[in-house]
Amino acid sequence: MIRYAIKRLLLAIPTLFVMLTAIFVLVRLVPGDAAAVILGDQASEASLRALRTTLGLDQPVYMQYLSFIGDVLTGDLGRSLSSGRSVGQEVLLVLPYTIELTLAAIVIGVALGLPLGIATAVRRNGWVDYAGRLISLVGLSFPAFVSGILLLIVFAIQLGWFPVLNSGSSGDPIERLRNLALPAFNLGIIMMAYVVRVTRSSMLGVLGEDYIRTARAKGVRPGRLVIRHALRNGLIPIITVVGLYFGTLIGNSVLTEIIFNRPGLGKLILGALNARDYTLLQGLMIIFAICVIAVNTLTDLAYGLVDPRVKYK
């Protein structure tokens, strides 16, 4: 296991480099002079030159690349052009909100999706199966901002059960939960849709195995059969999906935070975008890239831990 883990961790290093290089290239795709784009048409030549020096744009490209990689490796992600705070500080300010939201969404998604997925597999081709599949397909079809707006209109504006304007930072725990409920549910139903699909196909695969038939022949009760014998073995793909879904979850949380006016990484990206704060955008991209690689690696490691066959591949 340790050898597998080391190999997997070493594999993450080239991936990270490719990702960093891609981000470097992407940021330099800004057409024309980046300094002029940031400062606008009215900027004086002196301030343009000053900004170019700050951003290192007066250096040759390979020097820019080397100092970019060097900065990232030493943990320096740059400073926000608009607030002057370091990218790390900006992220730490809003990170708790995003973590709170994504964790709540994962809990809701798994709590709703796992039982429904099992039910669709056990009652295959029955009405539960059809309903479950349709629900999950509708869930997959919703762009996060569409479902968010519909939830907002129905539950916050029409029924008034939840606040329309989210303060997010309220100290009162009940108020905080009320603020969290709709956005978490919005992300949770999309998560649920993924979990239902994977659980269904994974359980269908496992339920057809010989050892399930053996257990059934031995007289194991149906409930115990599904939970103890089938689910435990069908769980591996489900774990993977929760891991893989992380990226989608982050993407969708951007839209969800905009709709429900919650502070978080999504709002931070949008703010950086509107303010043409390219250093903040670049820093955020790097952080996302690192997060995605870390979660991928962890998912693979978890996979190896749950299924001993994996590490011999």
Task: For residue 281, give the amino acid letter.
Answer: L
* Residue 95 vs 220, nearer CB to another protein: 95
Instruction: Tell how far CA 267 is from the center of its chain.
Output: 14
CA distance 75 to 67: 12
Residues 6+ away with beta carbon under 8 Å from 33: 48
- 131 counts as binding another protein under rule CB under 8 A: no
Q: Please report whether residue 65 would count as binding another protein according to CB under 8 A.
A: no
Contact 165, 123 (CB under 8 A): no
Question: 95, 258, 302, 306: which one contacts another protein (CB under 8 A)?
Answer: 258
Query: Which residue of 93, 107, 157, 177 would you call a contact of another protein, by CB under 8 A?
Result: 157
Nearest to another protein of 220, 275 (CB atom): 275
> Which residue, 141 or 228, is less far from another protein as judged by CB?
141
Q: Which of 38, 184, 286, 289 binds another protein (CB under 8 A)?
A: 289
Tokens (6 digits) for 69 = 């990689």
How far is 57 from 228, CA to CA, in rounded Å?
61
29 contributes a contact to another protein by CB under 8 A:
yes
3-state secondary structure at position 86: strand
Residues 191, 110: Cα–Cα separation, whole Å: 7
Distance CA 53, CA 43 (A): 15
Q: Which of 161, 162, 188 is nearest to 100 (CA)?
A: 188
Contact 193, 248 (CB under 8 A): no
Amino acid of residue 260: F
Does 290 bind another protein (CB under 8 A)? Our answer is: no
Residue with Cβ nearer another protein (22 or 177): 22
Longest dimension (CA), the chain: 84
Helix (H) or strand (E) holding 147: helix 144-151
Contact 166, 262 (CB under 8 A): yes
Binder among 43, 131, 270, 301 for another protein (CB under 8 A): 270
Binding mask 70-109 for another protein (x = CB under 8 A): ----------------------------------------
Interface positions, 188-227, toward another protein (CB under 8 A)? none
- 15 near another protein (CB under 8 A): yes
Contact between 256 and another protein (CB under 8 A)? no
Nearer to another protein, 220 or 247 (CB): 247
Closer residue to another protein in complex, CB, 6/177: 6
Q: Shortest Cβ distance from residue 187 to another protein (Å)?
A: 13
Decide if 82 contacts 275 (C-beta within 8 A): yes
Q: Distance between the two ends of the chain, CA-based, in angstroms?
A: 12
Interface residue with another protein among 43, 48, 128, 292 (CB under 8 A) is 292
Which residues between 158 and 187 bind another protein (CB under 8 A)?
A: 164
Cβ-based nearer residue to another protein, 176 or 276: 276
Site residues, another protein (CB under 8 A): 14-15, 18-19, 22, 26-27, 29-31, 134, 137-138, 140-146, 149-150, 152-153, 157, 164, 244, 247-248, 250-252, 254-255, 258-259, 269-270, 273-274, 281, 285, 288-289, 292-293, 296
